[in-house]
């Protein structure tokens, strides 16, 4: 699936594990601007950073369909697990943590060495954001 897509694109370069960049076929790219990522469940994510092309436009330009971006399994028929919080609620809950990290980071960039209590606050904020990310991945 990913191999088929990559073979149809021009100037493909690997950017890391399961990540590539290529010229976007939907708008006649001369410089690679199409980010391609293969997720853990074999879904292909496409983001055009230059022309803002839709995934539909991109796959159509290479003779594929949107369904080709998703694994061929029966998983979509399994009932989805319900979570008590939406992604939006999780993100909203992380605003104070983000402000905390930004404030301490600004102080550190100004040469202010944080005391032990401030460092513990920073670490706790990072842990909470990490936990929220892990939770959101399960949504």
Name the residue ranges covered by the structural domains of the chain.
2-72, 87-137
36 pLDDT above the threshold of 80: yes
Q: Dump pLDDT digits (tens) for 60-72.
A: 999 998 888 988 7
Q: How far apart are CA 104 and CA 22, in angstroms?
A: 38
Confidence of residue 98 (pLDDT cuts 50, 70, 90): very high
Mean pLDDT of the chain: 87
Which pLDDT belongs to residue 116? 94
Confidence of residue 132 (pLDDT cuts 50, 70, 90): confident
130 pLDDT above the threshold of 80: yes
58 close to 48: Cβ distance less than 8 angstroms:
yes
| Average pLDDT estimate for 96-120 | 93
Specify the length of the chain in residues: 139
Token pair 């513990």 in the structure block, residue: 120
């Amino acid at each position: 699936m990913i191999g088929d897509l990559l073979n149809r694109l021009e100037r493909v370069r690997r950017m890391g594990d399961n990540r590539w960049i290529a010229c976007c076929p939907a708008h006649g790219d001369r410089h690679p601007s199409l980010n391609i990522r293969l997720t853990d469940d074999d879904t292909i994510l496409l983001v055009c950073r230059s022309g803002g092309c839709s995934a539909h436009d991109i796959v159509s330009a290479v003779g594929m369909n949107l369904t080709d971006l998703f694994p061929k399994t029966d998983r979509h028929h399994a009932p989805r697990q319900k979570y008590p919080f939406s992604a939006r609620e999780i993100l909203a809950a992380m605003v104070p943590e983000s402000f905390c990290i930004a404030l301490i980071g600004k102080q550190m960039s100004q040469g202010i060495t944080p005391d032990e209590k401030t460092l513990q606050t920073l670490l706790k904020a990072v842990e909470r954001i990490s936990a929220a990310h892990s939770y959101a991945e399960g949504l």
